Structure formats: C-alpha cells, structure tokens
Amino acid sequence: MDFQPYPFEKLQALIKDIPIKAGRITLTIGEPQFPTPRSICNALKESVDLLNKYPKTTGEDYLKQAMLGFVKRRFNVDLDTTMLIPTFGTREVLFNFPQFYLFDKKSPVIAHPNPFYQIYEGASIASRAKTIYMNLTQENNFMPSLTKEQMQKCDLVILNSPNNPTGATMSLEALKQWVKNALEFDFLLLNDECYSEIYSSEKPTSILEASVAVGNTHFRNILSLNSISKRSSAPGLRSGFIAGDSEVLKAYMQYRTYIGCASPLPLQKAASVAWSDEAHTESSRIEYAKNLKLAKEILCKKISNLPIPKETFYVWLPVKDDLAFTRNLLEQENILVLPGSFLSRTDVQGENPGSNFVRLALVYEEAVIKDALLRISKWI
C-alpha cells in the first residue's frame, strides 16, 4: 500500500534544519490544551479494577445508553440500539469502515473533501478505491459538491462538517440536499462530525437531523461519526461512535468482532460520564470562542475578507507560499503552523486547494493565542 507520510512527518522534514528554541508555540495539531474535567478523570481512576476483564466489541450498555442520550439531547434524534455502535475513537472507523463497506464493490469509488483529514485518503488506498476530490476553495465558500455524473459513480461519500481544516459548516438545508442525493443516487453518505460541539453561537447540525427532516427516519444510506476528543478535552479516552443506517451497522458490527478494537472497561466508564454530561463542555467552548474572536479582531485588520469560522478552533489562513511562510514564521517568531499543501492533494485538473494556506489550531488559553496572533499578523 502506497501511503503518503502524515502531514506532521512532512512538517518535521520541512523544518529539520531549524534549531529548536525554548518557548515555541505550536499551532499545528488539533489537540485540546485544556485539562480533562475531573469527573471524567475520577471515573477512570475509580474503574481501574476492571482491567482484569475483557471488554465486549459491542461496547457496554451503559456507554451505548450515554451516547444515545447525547444524540437525543443534542440533536433531538431518537435512535434505537441497532442504530449506534460505540467505537475506539473515530480514526479507526474512518480507516476500517470503508474497507468493510467497499470490499465487495467491483470498482469502488470514494468522494471526500480536499483538503482533508488524511485518514480518508488512507482508507481509500486500503480499499483500492478511486478517489473523487471535492475541492474546498474560497470561491465555493469551502463547501463540498459533486456533479450528478460523479454521484452516479460513488459508493461512499465522506463529508466533514464542521470542517477540518477550513472551519466551514454546512447548513441544515445543505445537509438535507446531501441526504436526498444519497437516496436518489444510492450512495452511502457519512458525515464526520467530530467538531460538532466546538461552536461560538449556533449549534452545528448533524446529518442525522437532516435525515429526519427529509423523512428518512430509518437513516437509509446515512451515517454520522462523533467523538468526545474535542468536546471533552479527552482524546486519550478514544471514545467515539458511528450511528445511522441499522442495516449497514449490523453487518459492520459483525466485521468489528474480528478487528480487535474494543475499548478497555475503565475507558468506557470514564467515557460514559463524558457523554452523559453537557455542563463540562461549556468552559472550553467559551475559550475557543474567545480565540476565534481574537483571530477576527487581529487577522482581519490585515485580510479584511478573511472568513473566521464560528465553529471548530481552526483558522485557514491564506499566505503567498505556505512552505516558505511556515519556515519563516518558525525562524523569526518561534511559532509553528501547518502548511495547507500537506493537508490536500493535486486533483486531475492540477489544482491543489490547500496550497498557499496554513492551518492555525487555536487550542491554547487566550493569552497565548493573542500573543501568537499578533506576531503572525506581522507576516501576512
């Protein structure tokens, strides 16, 4: 399998000759820098004696019920137990689900956004699938689209709203149209919603809500992925779920019994506390909103039409040369960002929509982010 190096491997190669200095501010990775809430940590510590038991691949009932409760509270969507599978985070699902689903397809085709979370590409390679890139550009407001001809060819379409790295979020109406397309052209539609709980004002819409809104209450051809990694500042718990079409999930559950992705019971106990509680998410959400507000105040003085998102914690910053900008910023300001060209691919028309952008992950406290943004603004 011809996998490309991960973006962070490419970044290390790009900056390998630049000496490491104390005080570096790293804005490259979407890893929350706020502490995991004590209630979650305490649940983990109190459950360590469960390490002497094998976890079930299906997940414990208390965890599944906590996840179903989250979906009901957050999206007002009622799912039964056949419509949701707890998973070991969502990265493993994004990699192995396409391999499962596309295994019997003669000439499988995946469509996904470009730029993208690189695991989408890895899944496509492992599935021996042809990839259709949905380029996200300033001209299309960073919104994915396919022609009718492309939709006729697709077996699996992956969306990512709210989006990494652009921060763009699709409206209910846009998601409803995607559900209609999935039903009309009979492709499986999966929305990666791992940033749904990082927002400043309006709550982002789930593809499950859109499915119900068009009358597809059994979620035929529709799947959602979500995670507590960003929501609860707990990426180390590796707790996520896949939800939607029960017929697809029934077969996928059988497949999962062979791949050994069961979550340890102490992690499930802690995760169930996280999924059951909304209050603890508010403090970090407020901090991320402050950081995005700072980005608007500081960066838009230099780029007046820069779209600062109200969701996620990313800024997709246009620059003249993303590789040179990254090196220069590190050398001059000791701030490390991620080149956009490392997050995207050149399409058949020769266009790379990530070129000449850098991604800023605003995951630190307000004072650190303000300092970093003021220094970055000098170079744009």
Average pLDDT of 256-280?
95
| pLDDT 10s digits, 305-327 | 999 999 999 999 999 999 999 99
> How is residue 142 written in tokens?
């960073």
| pLDDT 10s digits, 189-232 | 999 999 999 999 899 999 999 999 999 999 999 999 999 999 99
Q: Which domain holds residue 342?
A: 7-35+281-377
* Last-in-domain residue among 276, 300, 317: 276
Q: Are residues 288 and 220 in the same domain?
A: no
Distance CA 85, CA 69 (A): 13
1 occurs within a structural domain: no
- Residue pair 325/319 in contact (Cβ under 8 Å)? The answer is yes
Helix residue spans in 77-147 (DSSP H):
91-102, 119-126
- Residue pair 163/312 in contact (Cβ under 8 Å)? The answer is yes
For tokens 């650190």, name the residue.
368
Residue type, 378: K
Which DSSP string corresponds to 289-330?
A: HHHHHHHHHHHTTT-TT----SBSSEEEEE-S-HHHHHHHHH
The candidate with the shortest Cα–Cα distance to 323, out of 357, 346, 350, 353, is 357
* Last-in-domain residue among 276, 300, 315: 276
> How is residue 266 written in tokens?
């102490």
> How is residue 4 written in tokens?
């490309």
Average pLDDT of 116-127?
97
Q: Are residues 48 and 80 in the same domain?
A: yes
Helix residue spans in 205-264 (DSSP H):
207-213, 246-256
The candidate with the shortest Cα–Cα distance to 224, out of 272, 175, 183, is 175
SS3 content of the chain, % helix, strand, coil (to 5): 40, 15, 45
Q: Are residues 242 and 331 in the same domain?
A: no
Question: Is residue 349's pLDDT more than 90?
Answer: no
- Where does the chain show beta strands of DSSP type E? 25-26, 84-88, 109-114, 130-135, 156-159, 188-192, 222-227, 239-244, 314-318, 335-336, 338-339, 357-361
Per the structure, how many domains does the chain have?
2
Per-residue pLDDT band for 2 (boundaries 50, 70, 90) equals confident
> How is residue 8 written in tokens?
């962070």
- 78 C-beta neighbours (distance < 10 Å), count: 12
* Last-in-domain residue among 276, 304, 327: 276
Question: Is residue 348's pLDDT more than 90?
Answer: no
| CATH (domain of 338) | 3.90.1150.10
Mean pLDDT of all residues belonging to the chain: 96
Higher pLDDT, 324 or 262: 324
Average pLDDT of 38-44?
97
Cis peptide upstream of residue 113 (ω within 30 degrees of 0): no
Higher pLDDT, 201 or 243: 243
66 occurs within a structural domain: yes
Per-residue pLDDT band for 365 (boundaries 50, 70, 90) equals very high
Average pLDDT of 268-284?
95
- pLDDT for the residue 260: 80
Which own/partner pairs from 318-327 qualify as long-range (CB within 8 Å, at least 24 positions apart)?
A: 318/138, 318/356, 318/357, 319/356, 319/357, 319/358, 319/380, 320/356, 321/356, 322/354, 322/355, 322/356, 322/357, 322/358, 323/14, 325/358, 325/379, 326/11, 326/14, 326/15, 326/358, 327/14, 327/15, 327/18
| pLDDT 10s digits, 68-119 | 999 999 999 999 999 999 999 999 999 999 999 999 999 999 999 999 999 9
- pLDDT for the residue 201: 87
167 occurs within a structural domain: yes
Distance CA 236, CA 23 (A): 25
Q: Are residues 299 and 196 in the same domain?
A: no
DSSP 144: -
67 occurs within a structural domain: yes
> How is residue 165 written in tokens?
């790295």
Q: Are residues 110 and 219 in the same domain?
A: yes
Answer left, alpha or beta for residue 63, where phi above 0 means left and psi between -120 and 50 means alpha.
Answer: alpha
